[in-house]
Amino acid sequence: MRGAVTDLRALASASGEDMPPSALEDLQRIFSLAITLEEQLAAPSTHHDLMNTISAMRGYAEMLQEDIGAQQPALNDSLTRLLKATENASVGAASGIAAQRAPAMAAEPGFILAVDDLAENRELVARYLSRSGHLVVTAASGAEALRALAESDVDVVLLDLMMPDMDGREVLRRIKANPDWRATPVIVISGSQDMDGIIACIEAGADDYLFKPFNPVLLQARIKAGIERKRWHDREEQYRQQLERNEKFIRATFGRYLSDEIVTDILERPEGLELGGDLREVTIMMSDIRGFTSLSEHLGPAEVVAMLNRYLGAMTDIIMAHNGTIDEFIGDAILAVFGAPQRRDDDADRAVRCALAMQAAMQGINADNAAAGLPALATGIALNTGAVIAGNIGSERRSKYGFVGHPMNVTSRIEDHCRGGEILISDSTAVKLSGRYTLSDRRELEARGLDQTVLVHRIEEYRDG
C-alpha cells in the first residue's frame, strides 16, 4: 500500500501540470485517505471505519481513472496498483485482522487455552486469536490441557472433542469437576455436525460450541462472550470475598461484646458497616464485685484469675442472652450497654431483667466457689439511662466500639453506692420501664463530681411478664 502511494505521489508531482484541478484534488484526497488508513491499521479502530476509508479510497481512485486514466497511462497503472492494494487490505481486514476491531467484536484480551490434537488446527486458532490481542496457549492432548489449566489462570478453553487418549468430553468432565476450574468457560469444537454430542457437552457444563470448519468471526464472538462471562464471574467472586471479609471483620470486632443476634442484625442491615459515632439513648449497666480487691489479696494469682473468669463467663452469657453489649471488663467490673449498636423499645426492661438474672446467678457461682474452697462473692449493679455518643473510639491502631458522655459518669457514681447483691437504677431508667417491678428505697444520691443529685430506686424483683 505504501509503495503504491509513493509511486502515485511521484507521478502526481511529475505530471501535476497536465492534470485538471479537480483531478489534483481527488489525488490529494487519496493521499490523505492513505494516511488515515495507515493510522487505522496501526491503532485499534473499528472494522466499519476501516471499510469506510478503503471504500472512499477505492471510489476516488476509480473516478480518477475514469477521468484521466486514458491520458495518463502511468498514473492509471499506479492507480490500478493502489486499487489492488486496497483490495488486499480489505480482504485482510475481513478475514480477521480487523474483524475483531469492529465494535461488536472488540474483545477484552483474554488468556485462551486451545486444545486440539492436530498441529495445524492449533496453529490456525492461535493465529486468529493472537491477532485480536488474546494470549493463546495450546495443548495437544487432554493431559496437556489439564496441566496448562493447573499452571495458569485461563479465561476460556477452546476444546476439540475428537482427540485420541483422553477425548474432549472427558477433559470437559474433569474441568467441571474441579472447583478451581469450574467457572472457566469451555467452548467445545466438533468436527462433525453432531448435535447430540454437542447437547451432551452443554449438559455436562460446556458454555458454547462451534462446528468445524469454523468461521473466524464467529470464533471471535464466542471467545469474547466467554471472556466476558469469566470476567463477570471473577468480579462476582471478588465481591463475595470482600463481603465475607467485611462480615469477618464485624464479627471479630463485635462478636466478643455482642450477642450473635445483634451481630447478625448489623450484618443484615446495609448501613451496618458504617458505624460512625452517633448520639443515642442507651441504658448503661455497671457492675462490680464488692470488696474484690481486698478479697484477692488473700488468694494466689491463679485462683484470682480462675474465679474471675468463672464469674465473668457466667455474667457474659447472661448479658448476651439479654442482648446487651459488653463494652469492657475492668478487673472485676463490667460495663455493658443496652440500646447500642441497635436500639430496641425494651432496652431498659432488658437491662433490669438482665441485672436480676445476674444477681440470681450469684447463688450458683458462690456454691461453686464454696466447693472449690473459695470465698463467696457479692456484686452490685447500677443502671442508668441517657444519651451517649456511641462509635468506634480510639486511634487508628487500636479502636473499639465504645461510649462516652455524662450518663456514663452518672452510672459509675450510682455504682459506687451499690451494696453487695443490690441493683440500683436511676429514675431515668425507671421511667422507661414498661414491665412491673417492685421498686423500693427511693432516694437522692449526692454523688461526687456531679452538680445535681441523682434520684435512684432499688429493684427488688420482677413481678410478671
Partner 1 sequence: MAEQAPILLVEDNEINCEMLSRRLTRAGLSVITAADGVQALQLMASAQPALVLMDMNLPVMDGWSACRAARQNPALKDIPIIALTAHAMETDRQSALAAGCDDYATKPIDFPDLLSKIRRLLPA
Taking the C-alpha atoms of residue 159 and residue 144, their distance in angstroms, rounded to an integer, is 12
Query: Judged by CB under 8 A, which stretch of 87-95, 240-248, 359-367, 408-416 contacts partner 1?
Result: 87-95
Of 43 and 371, which has the nearer Cβ to partner 1?
Answer: 43
Residue type, 308: L
* 52 part of the interface to partner 1, by CB under 8 A: yes
86 counts as binding partner 1 under rule CB under 8 A: yes
Cα–Cα distance between 432 and 407 in angstroms, integer? 15
Residue closer to partner 1 by CB (options 220, 426) is 220
Q: How far is the CB of 397 from partner 1 (least distance, A)?
A: 56
Residue 39 touching partner 1 (CB under 8 A):
no
CB of 55 to partner 1, least distance (A): 4
Applying CB under 8 A, which of residues 19, 23, 47, 378 lies at the interface with partner 1?
47
Our finding on whether 33 is near partner 1 (CB under 8 A) is yes
Q: Specify whether the CB–CB gap between 250 and 267 falls below 8 A.
A: yes
Q: Which is nearer to partner 1, 36 or 287 (CB)?
A: 36
Q: Does 147 bind partner 1 (CB under 8 A)?
A: no
Tell me which DSSP letter residue 93 carries. I
Shortest separation between residue 221's beta carbon and partner 1, angstroms = 11
90 binds partner 1 (CB under 8 A): yes
Is position 310 an interface residue for partner 1 (rule: CB under 8 A)?
A: no
Site string for partner 1, 63-82 (x = CB under 8 A): x--x----------------
Q: Can you tell me which of 41, 51, 135, 314 binds partner 1, judged by CB under 8 A? A: 51
For 60, 91, 140, 172, 175, the CA distances from 164, given in Å and listed in that order, are 55, 36, 10, 15, 18
State yes or no: residue 54 binds partner 1 (CB under 8 A). yes
Q: At closest approach, how far in Å is the CB of 124 from partner 1?
A: 19
**Burial tier of 460 (Cβ tally within 10 Å: 0-12, 13-18, 19+):** middle
Q: Kindly state the DSSP code that residue 46 receives in the 8-state scheme.
A: -
Q: Which of 417, 344, 343, 360 is nearest to 383 (CA)?
A: 417
Helix, strand, coil shares, percent, the chain, to 5: 55, 20, 25
- Pick the stretch among 61-69, 261-269, 279-287, 330-338 that binds partner 1 (CB under 8 A): 61-69
Burial class (CB in 10 A: 0-12, 13-18, 19+), 184: buried
Q: DSSP assignment, residue 164?
A: S
Which residue's CB is nearer to partner 1, number 59 or number 375? 59
Q: Which three cell numbers stand for residue 194?
A: 453432531
Sign of the CA dihedral 105, 106, 110, 114? positive
Of 47 and 353, CB closest to partner 1 = 47
Cβ burial 91-128 (10 Å sphere, 16+ → b, else e): eebeebbbbbbbeebbbeebbbbbbbbeeebbebbbeb
**CB under 8 A: which stretch of 50-58, 174-182, 326-334, 434-442 binds partner 1?**
50-58
102 touches partner 1 by CB under 8 A: yes
Q: Which residues bind partner 1 (CB under 8 A)?
A: 29, 33, 47-48, 50-52, 54-60, 62-63, 66, 86-87, 90, 94, 102, 215, 217
